[in-house]
Amino acid sequence: MSHLSVDFNNLKTFVSEKDLEAIKPKILSCHDMLEKAQGPGSFFLGWKNPEISNSVLAETREAAKSVQDQCEVFIVIGIGGSYIGSQAGITFLKSSFPNQLDKKGRPEIYFAGNNISSDYHSDLLDLIDGRDVCLNVISKSGTTTEPAITFRILNEILEKKYGFDKAKQRIIITTDSKKGILNTLANEQGYRKFVIPDDIGGRYSVLSPVGLLPMAVAGIDIEKLISGACVGGRLYSEGLINEAYRYAGFRHLLYQAGKTTEILAVFQPALHHFAEWWKQLVAESEGKELKGIFPSTVEFTKDLHSMGQWIQEGRRTIFETFLILESSNRQLKIPTIENDTDGLNYLSGKTLDYVNDKAFEGTTLAHKDGGVPNLSLKIKDRSPESLGQLFYFFEKATAMAGYLNGINPFDQPGVEMYKNNMFKLLNKPGY
């Protein structure tokens, strides 16, 4: 059973089913490249089969339990795909304030190594002072500057506090199976190690140990998450028939028509970090060879009071994908007050979600009337199964979008440019 549904009706005046049918041969060709591993970057298709062995799941659960038992704070050190997927999962599946509510004996979880800010990391050190800490360092190479610096700082603190032997029991390395500094370090020092599959790139790694371990520490049922992804694997495996390919196809048609920016709009704070995960997935996958749709995100209704103006009346080079949660975990009703001083009694007894839904419906109509094509992707609920399918939907659609545009959606050569310049400026040996 699908946990997602897609509504393309607000695209009809901009692109049609007939237009989509016209590019069906191209979609089928790209589908064959994905299925037969014959396209650019085909080595990195390990994400296509989201199934995880029972042994890896069991080891992940056991490691998560060990962290829960001995730590008050769990710090995930990584950048890009090494952290943002698990952060998206925790934000979506836990409470709005997971480090303050819904802990139930589990550690607070923080993310570091995704910036080079003295203030951020100093504040983090203040926060963990006097508390029991565990680390999960995530990097294939181990040489990425941001997480490497953070690990050096935090590792020194742990070794001073616990001594080397006890400190290493609080450190989990998630890295390459055979090569890289972190792999060597884990083997030499005896750190517990999880393997990032060779055939899965960073931004496609959320359903591997990269994302599963932090989510398991947070108390998320990772088996159900994988189960939802496997549903996606079955649903989004046929050319043009499935919704992921239809989404990719309509995006391609809009891009060809001059719609060069896609805005992913969410109406729930629980989807905030998921939108950030999506932004990285799309940007690194599609933005190359002077091609690609620019991914942007907004959080409504807040951004309707800022970005909403630009979307309604700015340049017509955009389209929107609304990411909508159909069922919240809890409902809160608007009370009645006797004198109705705020004029809100017409909403008495209505839930906040009811009002939010009408804001969504009103926004889609306004933006369509304003010349902005839009579509809606609805998520059944805040369950691991829904999230797993959602992750897979966008992974498959993004891979298809890259092939439709004639680029390799699995590399990121442009990311290396800033690094080379930074290393030269820092006088790093060899640069």
* 74's tokens: 């769990």
**Distance between CA 109 and CA 98 in Å, rounded?**
8
**CA-wise closest residue to 61 among 279, 239, 218:** 218
From residue 417, give the alpha-carbon distance in Å to each of 146, 292, 304, 409.
15, 18, 35, 18
Catalytic (active site) residue 272 = no
Q: Which of 223, 284, 286, 320 is catalytic?
A: 284
* 387's tokens: 């999230």
**Distance between CA 377 and CA 247 in Å, rounded?**
10
b/e map of 108-133 (b: 16 or more CB within 10 Å)?
bbbbbbbeeeeeebeebeeebeeeeb
In single-letter form, the type of residue at position 356 comes to N
* 39's tokens: 């396209």
User: Under DSSP, is residue 332 helix (H, G, I), strand (E, B) or coil?
Assistant: coil
Q: Show the 3-state SS of 176-187.
A: CCCCCHHHHHHH
| Chain centroid to CA 422 | 27
* 11's tokens: 């695209």
Catalytic (active site) residue 284 = yes
Q: Which of 18, 104, 305, 416 is catalytic?
A: 305
Catalytically active residues are 284, 305, 419
